[in-house]
Structure 1
Amino acid sequence: MNKTTFEVKNGIAVILLNDPDHLNPLDQATDIELLKHLTYCEQSPEVKAVVLGGAGNSFSAGGDMRFFKKQLDEKNYARLDELAKHVNRVILKIRTMKKLVVAAVQGYAVGGGANLALASDFIVADYSCKFSEPFTKIGLAPDAGAMYLLTRAVGAKKALQICIECPVIRADEANKLGLLTQLVPGGQALSAAVAFAEKLANGPLLAYEMAKEQTNRISYADFEDYLFSTETGTVGRTFRSADYREAVIAFLEKRKVRYSGR
């Protein structure tokens, strides 16, 4: 089964994460499909704008804890490092591609899922949305560009607070923080995002795309270096930590985490 669906209609490409029974988790197969679709959108003259969403009731719950546990049991840290790099390539493509990307968010947008949305140019969300960056809660340094993207969105102090306290940020608070472009009634995130993308596609698109390029030069010029240098090193270190292993096991066993600080 494909992990994503892809359709182009009226110049709008709609990419949906497609494992709703598991809240559309991010894994290597999903990342490869996303990167393929995004690359096609970047290169195709047929595509004027892109909508990124999730099937079912959630956008994406982020990484699959069952996968993480398996790699930890096998001490396959290189596989964890590889997964982080794959996610980062997708995040970087969304942020730096010329075409405008609109995230359609309903339900959970957690961890890497939240950062797929934050990397997008616009976020259209409905009132069911729940954003969270729970990396430190599982003993992991923030990954998938979390700290960088949040710092650009809400400032350094608030970004650090969000990544340390790991709150669930619901619709009204997300809107107040300035994360959302548009907040719509429940069940309307995808349709409203498509309508927003169609409006972009029918406007002065070249000017919009040049505005995105200017924004990237001003605020995201060192994003690639951050992802594959600073973040790779810090996340890789915590992948190998005792706290990360304990947190993954505790999550799957549905018990309280016993942190050791190591």
Structure 2
Amino acid sequence: MELKKLIYTVDADGIAVITMNYMKNLNAIDEQMADELMYVVDAAEKDPNVKVVVLKGTDRAFSAGGDIGYFYDLIQAGGEVNMDGLIGKVGVVANGLKRMSKLVITSVCGASAGAGVSLALGGDFMICADNAKFILAFVNIGLVPDTGATYLLTKSLGTARTMELAATGRPVSAEEAKELGLAYKVVAKEELDEATMKFARKLAAGPLLSYKNIKKQIYDAAYSDYKQWLAETEIPTQRECAASMDFQEGCKAFMEKRKAHFEGK
């Protein structure tokens, strides 16, 4: 596959680096980005030369989540917004990262919003720049979290804290993410790449079979129903929200830079 929105490399140490690199929309995840992510996650899993995977964005942002501008244009044109295909694809990516036999590090600089938060949580270790910010922004446009965010956060933080973050959509700083146990390490922005690759090289030189089977144990203990949940809970709940007038209003308000007026319809 020709990669237009990602950069994928594998270095001599066996570290595969997936860089989301489409700053035109701050690495928003559209169908093409989702297709490319599915492709490289599968390629990294199947490549015997890959020992560790790093998923990162750029200095400006990790990922802004969904492409709200695209949804806005559809709404303005009177078209139907159907996210089932996109959510299904990013669900494959989300589950693929957790099921992968190689350890995954997410390296986060700048903003992660919406599905970007989900991808940041999708690895086994998250290393953040001190300017990282996480926003479960779905509720602000009348949607529910997707790409596995609610599932992963409930497993990590419990139901009460997940409800707070999902229902308020408030920002979470890098330091708070570390305090909550979501981030492994927080470093200065200019040190992020070096810290990430140093840790990746340490893991790549470690007992890979042990890591593989630790991941399998954890997946089977905590995530064995993940794929089913994505298909049977996440997609239908987002489908209902995406068909609502509240979602249309949320998109319009976001793009028009005004306060949304939701009616619960």
TM-score relative to the length of structure 1: 0.96
2:16 is paired with a residue whose SS is strand
Residue 105 (structure 2) pairs with residue 102 (structure 1): yes
Instruction: Give the 5 Å matches for 1:43-62.
Output: 43-62=46-65
Contact 1:102 1:121 in 2 (8 A): yes
Residue 154 (structure 2) pairs with residue 183 (structure 1): no
> 1:22 Cα shift?
2.5
- Give per-residue Cα distances to partners, 1:106-145, cap 9 Å, x unaligned: 1011111110111111101110100111111110022111
Residue matched to 1:146: 149
1:135 is paired with a residue whose SS is helix
Picking from 88, 91, 94, the partner of 1:88 is 91
Residue 174 (structure 2) pairs with residue 163 (structure 1): no
Give me the whole-angstrom Cα distance separating, in 1, the residues matched to 2:28 and 2:47.
27
Give me the whole-angstrom Cα distance separating, in 1, the residues matched to 2:74 and 2:84.
11
> 1:81 Cα shift?
1.8
> 1:246 Cα shift?
0.2
Residue matched to 1:244: 247
Contact 2:112 2:135 in 1 (8 A): yes
Q: In structure 2, what residue type is equivalent to 1:170?
A: S
> 1:76 Cα shift?
2.8
Give me the whole-angstrom Cα distance separating, in 2, the residues matched to 1:52 and 1:192.
14
The runs of 5 or more residues in structure 2 that have no matched partner are: none
> 1:155 Cα shift?
1.1
> 1:182 Cα shift?
1.1
Picking from 216, 219, 231, the partner of 1:216 is 219
Contact 1:62 1:110 in 2 (8 A): yes
The runs of 5 or more residues in structure 1 that have no matched partner are: none
Deviates more, 1:214-223 or 1:136-145: 136-145
Give me the whole-angstrom Cα distance separating, in 2, the residues matched to 1:70 and 1:206.
48
Give me the whole-angstrom Cα distance separating, in 1, the residues matched to 2:156 and 2:148.
12
- Give per-residue Cα distances to partners, 1:180-214, cap 9 Å, x unaligned: 11111122223212211111110111101100110
Contact 2:115 2:145 in 1 (8 A): no
Give me the whole-angstrom Cα distance separating, in 1, the residues matched to 2:156 and 2:60.
25
Residue matched to 1:121: 124
Contact 1:12 1:48 in 2 (8 A): yes
Deviates more, 1:66-75 or 1:241-250: 66-75
Q: In structure 2, what residue type is equivalent to 1:227?
A: L
Contact 1:105 1:190 in 2 (8 A): no
Contact 2:120 2:126 in 1 (8 A): yes
Contact 2:71 2:81 in 1 (8 A): no
Q: In structure 2, what residue type is equivalent to 1:61?
A: A
Give me the whole-angstrom Cα distance separating, in 2, the residues matched to 1:197 and 1:241.
43
Residue 20 (structure 2) pairs with residue 3 (structure 1): no
Give me the whole-angstrom Cα distance separating, in 2, the residues matched to 1:60 and 1:36.
18
> 1:75 Cα shift?
2.6
> 1:74 Cα shift?
4.0
2:62 is paired with a residue whose SS is coil
Residue matched to 2:79: 75
Deviates more, 1:229-238 or 1:184-193: 184-193
Q: In structure 2, what residue type is equivalent to 1:104?
A: S
Q: Percent identity?
A: 37
Q: In structure 1, what residue type is equivalent to 2:192?
A: A
Deviates more, 1:139-148 or 1:247-256: 139-148
Give me the whole-angstrom Cα distance separating, in 2, the residues matched to 1:45 and 1:141.
37
Give me the whole-angstrom Cα distance separating, in 1, the residues matched to 2:19 and 2:41.
12
The count of aligned residue pairs is 261
- Give per-residue Cα distances to partners, 1:21-68, cap 9 Å, x unaligned: 432111111111111111111001110000000123211111111111
Picking from 31, 34, 38, the partner of 1:35 is 38
1:51 is paired with a residue whose SS is strand
Give me the whole-angstrom Cα distance separating, in 2, the residues matched to 1:211 and 1:71.
44
Residues 229 and 13 of structure 1: is their aligned pair in 2 closer, same or farther, counting only changes over 3 Å? Answer: same
